[in-house]
Structure 1
Amino acid sequence: MTSTTAMPTAASLSSPFQRWRRRFLRHRVALAASVILLLLVVIALLAPVLAPYNPYQSDWLAISSFPTAAHWFGTDELGRDILSRIMYGARLSLWVGLASVSLGTIGGIVLGLIAGFKGGWLDSLIMRSSDVLFAFPGMLLAIAVVALLGPGLNNVILAVAIFSVPIFARLVRAQTLTLRHSTYVDASRSVGASNTTLMFRHILPATLPSVVVYFTMRIGSSILTAAGLSFIGLGPEPDVPEWGNMLASSRSLMMAGAWHVSVFPGMAILITVLVFNLLGDALRDTLDPKAR
């Protein structure tokens, strides 16, 4: 009697990252969102090269002019090229979104790991503090923080980061509660692994897929919040080429029929937020085993 042994396939020999990459490349929405995001990053990084004009330069002969061959997106109330200001504004908006969510994610991960792993009064303290922050709408909390610290780009980043912390803390805590008594964690504990090692080497990696998904989606909402703060005058200086500032300065011109001064910055915000949300959904579909 002869026995045959099944040969391992290429899929079974590939790493988890390679398998995820194949799933991601087959996801059409993910590819489209990634291409648009890459284009936004290139525009932001190369704004000094790609922008046709200096964002602070005024053309006094073309004040509030509609789109023309010389100014593709038109000019604002001071004759500044809107396309150039949008390109430079991409640098600020992407930086605010990335920096604020990164700070919030780091703080939330640390607090969530401690709360879920330690439990007891420390867990109650962290979670009740998070509930207090959850009681405030995110935009209202950001306004309160900026009102206390003063307007400015760095304070906007800090304000957006603060109301991102409890969201990531609760997400990481929920998974830590499930993982802290798993077999591989108990095995590491039995051979003398410290609590720090258990949290950051064994539990944290298992929470990263969910964190990455929400991190991506949170960047879009943070960009929207930062633009809202700038719109009400709590962001950078009014002349800084930032999308929220551009919308704020266009309020009087919209009533006069100058639609272009608000439509193009608004479209930039819409496309950027939509791209991050679509990319987050695609990452969830390709990283979450329950979604496949």
Structure 2
Amino acid sequence: MDSLIEINHQGDIRSPWREFWRRIITNPVAVGSGGFILLLVLVAVFAPWLAPYNPMQSDWTALSAPPSWHHLMGTDELGRDLFSRIIFGARISLYVGFFSVTLGMVLGILLGLFAGYYGGWLDMLIMRGADVLFAFPGMLLAIAVVAILGPGLNNVIVAVAVFSVPVFARIVRASTLSLKQAAYVEAVRCAGARDRLILLRHILPGTLSNVIVFFTMRIGTSILTAASLSFIGLGPEPDVPEWGNILAMGRSSMMAGVWHISLFPGIAIFVTVLAFNLLGDALRDTLDPKLKN
């Protein structure tokens, strides 16, 4: 187990949190990607005040209008301001990405802890169930879940959460198998501590570094999957300002030379997913003791 304090070459004692933040703020990739994500969160929170127009209001005098001073990113086929719709789309995309991955993480952590700690038939049952879910590509599994539950924003969250559960379960199980053999866990067990106390206080904290890294990267994947489901008509209603819906609306206009309807939501999805992946890589470099100098 990592020590609770860290001493640098000058003999100064640093707490793990101070050392973590020191390594993060000296990593330009982490600062850049984290700053963009923070800006995106602020945009989503203050969307009603930042959007210049109502995202559902149509301007019938400017149908599929190109970018201009009045409409910075142009308008869609119904004359709705594209810039305003993308701003409100950030709110929906972050909502889906965060809550779907959180749901999958909670279920995966519980299953991984039980499987790794108790082993036996429970471990076999949980891991074989994970193998069944791994047999399907993530996007195909999400389509199947939405096809069963029906289109809708909440059903998209459930679908994205389902294919996140087995990955979290495997990550936590692998860490639990290693940590339950540690000397401090054996000492606590010999002292008569209950399994619940051992799992929550002594094993779970040791798995969180890997979970945090994967959680960050999984949000980007979930945003991309949710946008893909909306693009093929399995997401929220078509008039909802969601990035996948906006991209799907611009699909029919591309052959007519109207490029901006598909370009700007595509850029928003690309940059957001890239930022979460880069932040996840930076967190992995910071939290993994094997990568420290």
What corresponds to 1:178 in structure 2? 178
> What's the RMSD between the two structures over aligned residues?
1.2
Pair 1:45 & 2:55 matched: no
Cα separation, partners in 2 of 1:43 and 1:8, compared to 1, 3 Å: closer
Displacement of 1:8: 8.8
In 2, distance between residues paired with 1:21 and 1:11?
19
What corresponds to 2:195 in structure 1? 195
In 1, distance between residues paired with 2:35 and 2:11?
26
Q: For residue 202 of structure 1, what is the amino acid of its counterpart?
A: H
In 1, distance between residues paired with 2:48 and 2:10?
46
Matches within 5 A, 1:49-128: 49-128=49-128
What corresponds to 2:25 in structure 1? 25
In 2, distance between residues paired with 1:148 and 1:275?
32
In 2, distance between residues paired with 1:224 and 1:172?
24
Cα separation, partners in 2 of 1:8 and 1:42, compared to 1, 3 Å: closer
In 1, distance between residues paired with 2:130 and 2:61?
54
Identity within the alignment, %: 65
What corresponds to 1:3 in structure 2? none
In 2, distance between residues paired with 1:51 and 1:37?
18
Cα separation, partners in 2 of 1:132 and 1:8, compared to 1, 3 Å: closer
Q: How many residue pairs align between the two structures? A: 286
In 1, distance between residues paired with 2:8 and 2:284?
28
Displacement of 1:10: 7.4
In 2, distance between residues paired with 1:250 and 1:8?
55
Q: For residue 265 of structure 1, what is the amino acid of its counterpart?
A: P
In 2, distance between residues paired with 1:137 and 1:103?
19
Matches within 5 A, 1:139-178: 139-178=139-178
Q: For residue 262 of structure 2, what is the amino acid of its counterpart?
A: S
What corresponds to 1:210 in structure 2? 210
Q: Alignment partner of 1:250: what SS?
A: helix
Displacement of 1:181: 1.1
Displacement of 1:69: 0.5
Displacement of 1:13: 2.0
In 2, distance between residues paired with 1:8 and 1:106?
36
User: Do the aligned residues in 2 keep the contact of 1:11 with 1:19 (CA within 8 Å)?
Assistant: no
In 2, distance between residues paired with 1:104 and 1:14?
34
| 33-42 vs 8-17, which moves further | 8-17
What corresponds to 2:136 in structure 1? 136
Q: Alignment partner of 1:67: what SS?
A: coil
Q: For residue 47 of structure 1, what is the amino acid of its counterpart?
A: A
After superposition, give the CA deviation of every residue in 1:253-291 in whole Å (9 maximum; x if it has no partner): 111011000000000000100000000000001110111
Displacement of 1:200: 1.1
What corresponds to 1:269 in structure 2? 269
Displacement of 1:12: 4.2
In 2, distance between residues paired with 1:257 and 1:170?
47
Cα separation, partners in 2 of 1:11 and 1:203, compared to 1, 3 Å: farther
In 1, distance between residues paired with 2:11 and 2:168?
33
Stretches of structure 1 lacking an aligned partner (at least 5 in a row): 1-6
In 2, distance between residues paired with 1:10 and 1:180?
35
Q: For residue 211 of structure 2, what is the amino acid of its counterpart?
A: V
Please report the TM-score for the alignment, with normalisation by the length of structure 1: 0.96
User: Do the aligned residues in 2 keep the contact of 1:63 with 1:79 (CA within 8 Å)?
Assistant: yes
Displacement of 1:34: 1.0
In 1, distance between residues paired with 2:138 and 2:217?
15
Displacement of 1:203: 0.4
Q: For residue 243 of structure 1, what is the amino acid of its counterpart?
A: W
Pair 1:227 & 2:242 matched: no
Q: For residue 139 of structure 1, what is the amino acid of its counterpart?
A: M
Please report the TM-score for the alignment, with normalisation by the length of structure 2: 0.96
